[in-house]
Structure 1
Amino acid sequence: MTPPAGAVRRARSRARDATLVDTEHPLEPFWRGIIACRLLTLVTVVGVTLYHLRTGYESPAAAIGVLVVMAGWTAVTSWGYLGGLPGAPDVRGRLALADLGVCVAVMATTPWIVTTAHLDDGGPGMGSIWTSGAVLACAVAFRIRGGLLAAAVISVALVLSKDRFGALELGDIQLLVLAGLTVGYGSLVLERAAARLRRLAAEQAAAAERERLTRAVHDGVLQVLAHVQRRGAELGGGAAELGLLAAEQETSLRALLSGPGTTDAAGRRDLAAALRQLASGRVTVSAPGHAVELAATAAGELEGAVRAALANVALHAGRDAHAWVLVEELAGAIEVSVRDDGPGIPDGRLAEAEAEGRMGVSRSIRGRVEDIGGTLRLDTGPDLGTEWVIRLDRGTA
């Protein structure tokens, strides 16, 4: 059941107010932080460069030119890291890679612009701490791996451009690696937290919608379906199939109102949890204590086949009949059996029903199982009850 968009928005709003996290764009604070860092480091680099302009640079004009390029690129990245034009695709990952390339190019100008004496005195090369912004951007865009790789690239460029590796350079490299690792890890954690909040918001919205439907449907519709089921069994013939369909819809509606199993981000559902919802005073469900995960489509069709089999029990085996549903995990397969203690199905009864155009079993059980690549076996006989055995290979699920 898909909850209304309004319910999802309200649930997400409540989650956002409680956690101060934008679940749709959780990394926006990081991008804004990178912009602030870039601006502050640019001001610092400009001040240091102007202070040493006459004594520390072979070509002061070239140093000013590089500062102009840095200022222009800071404006470009600031606009891009804010998201660019409204509605435009998010290209911040590619912009972060371009940022890394520009920073390396700026650092590469060091041997031609900065004097050797200035570097020997511990002076910075071109770009200096401004280039750390590219490490932070790659960490946010590509998480831990991106932050560490960007830190490695900037570190190599630092050593090669200054043509030395001392305590000062080692300290800078350590800070770059630490920044890339920390910001990358923080981005990963925040993104996962936002995904959990989105799932929680969707579940809350679905629960609210189920509550609304329960109030709207109440027991009136369910009682009518149950009455049609009983009268169909009493009248027989074509009315019996109508009663079977009513029983299926009653079971489906009750399961829907009680809350169906949720589908995870990988599109899988817990079959065991879904079938446990079918348990009642006359139906016993035995399933593994852990999740039995299948593709959502396969799990839904298996659940529908089991419901149809239980509807047959209620319709043909009598009100006092008991049914048992067993879920087993075998080597490379899943097996679901539905057994009852009714009188069984007489020989030729299914073929006769199909010949008469009553397709209840064929459509509701066999059709569902075949659609997902499973196999169906029927064991029945007078005074033996009926057992449907559904087998589905893991490879098809």
Structure 2
Amino acid sequence: MSAVAWTAAGSLAVWMWLLLGQGLFWRTDQRLPPHTTPATWPSVAVVVPARDEAAVLPMSLPSLLAQDYPGDAEIFLVDDGSTDGTGQLARDLAARGCGLPLTVVSPGEPDPGWTGKLWALRHGISLARVREPEYLLLTDADIAHEPDSLRELVSAARSTGLDLVSQMARLRVASFWERLVVPAFVYFFAQLYPFRWINRPGARTAAAAGGCVLLRTEAAERARIPESIRQSVIDDVSLARAVQRSGGHIWLGLAERVDSVRPYPGLGDLWRMISRSAYAQLRHNVLLLLGTVLGLSLIYLAPPAALAAGLRSNDAPAAWAGGVAWLVMAGTFLPMLGYYRQSLWLAPLLPFIALLYLLMTVDSAVQHYRGRGAAWKGRTYARPGPDTGPRAAQDG
């Protein structure tokens, strides 16, 4: 066999292992666990960190204000140094009709050693704890909730004894680039953090989706949230890890009632969103970056390259192995495309999409060494703390 054929065979072997041995990551059936209606509804404080969110707040905040929740619930929106009138807009939206009570606070610039979002969460959670809520709903300012979203989250947490229930919000897929790139974003996340592994008893893998996290207040205090993760750029993974490490039970799945309304219409918008934290996920480690580039190349780029080379040179083993690996790869992408209601014909384009992600990751490293890494809305963050990054989400 040629070197190309051996490479294709290696890629096929990896894909067979991913298909069967990586927690069935490609399936999209991890939704809120079966639950019953609580006998009494616990109190909930909703904490929303917001920085320059005036463009999306009219589509998201009213959905929180209109939550149909039988128990006591209150919203705390933390205006994190916005310059576009986010805080006043939130007050105006709340004043337009009846709904959950809203408090807007502005904590000022973060203290050294804090990321902006976690600094905002710190102040929001501190304010909420005065009301002694049983649960905290941490949700981003670009997340819209169906009217029964909070009720369903609380019911699931109470019925199953979970300390943390997180849902991966359905991201917007309106533009061409969103339809091409966004489903793969969730697909790659699930491949790295298989939801089944996170949700099984005694799990060693931990992750959450920061846009929607229902957290038991007692578990937050036990895990010292957010102080224990104050430097984390990948704060959702770090939060889940801290809760799990302190003895809490966590759950992560795909959302049916929670949607992101933030637009990423062009490739440049998506590129900046992904590359700002990609190198932080690799702990700013050059060796991990090199391994990621080689791994992505073998897993995603080698199969179509081997098929093309094999057909061109009449190398049947290379063409066969490359073709089957590409077929398996595309097949694992189909459920996520179905979840996002996108054309299944996008599945064979996964190698091209993976190439884009590879380039975004490399660009993230380049920007880091130019002093512009992990930049978001006018802030640039230094190296993450020890809890940051995908490797920190697992024991061992």
Q: TM > 0.5 between the two?
A: no
TM range (shorter): under 0.3
Kindly indicate whether structure 1 or structure 2 has the higher relative contact order, using CA contacts under 8 Å at least 6 residues apart: 2
The TM-score normalised by the length of structure 2 is: 0.20
The TM-score normalised by the length of structure 1 is: 0.20
